[in-house]
């Protein structure tokens, strides 16, 4: 996630957040607290991997901030779901599902 900047810079900065280690702590204490809160609260939703339910919806939340222009306040979210890139799921008309590929 990137808070601030313009749309283009925010997108690039939010992509850079994906390169941070899962176990690092944000040097900005306000952002570190926000990352922790979002991670804890998202994992109570019961969404789980691929939306199939479970305790772990997010593995990590990484937030960066850039200066912003006074006329706008962009928040850019970039997501990376490793499971989505490595597996597929087929959902049948009757609601049954199975992993493929």
> In terms of residue numbers, what domain contains 22?
2-100
Model pTM score: 0.72
Beta-sheet strands, E only, within the chain: 2-3, 64-65, 75-76, 88-91, 97-100
Over range 52-56, report the average pLDDT: 89
Q: What is the mean pLDDT of the chain?
A: 87
- Residue 70 has what pLDDT? 78
H/E segment holding residue 8: helix 7-17
Q: How many domains does the chain have?
A: 1
Q: What are phi and psi of 42, to 5 degrees?
A: -65, -35
Over range 5-24, report the average pLDDT: 89
């Amino acid at each position: 996630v990137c808070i601030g900047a313009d749309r283009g810079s925010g997108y690039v900065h939010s992509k850079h957040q994906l390169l941070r280690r899962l176990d690092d702590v944000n040097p900005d204490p306000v952002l570190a607290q926000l990352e922790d809160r979002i991670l804890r609260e998202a994992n109570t939703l019961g969404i789980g991997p691929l939306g199939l339910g479970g305790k772990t919806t997010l593995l990590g939340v990484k937030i960066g901030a850039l200066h912003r222009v006074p006329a706008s306040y962009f928040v850019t979210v970039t997501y990376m779901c490793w499971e989505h890139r490595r597996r597929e799921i087929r959902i049948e008309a009757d609601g049954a599902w199975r992993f493929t590929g």
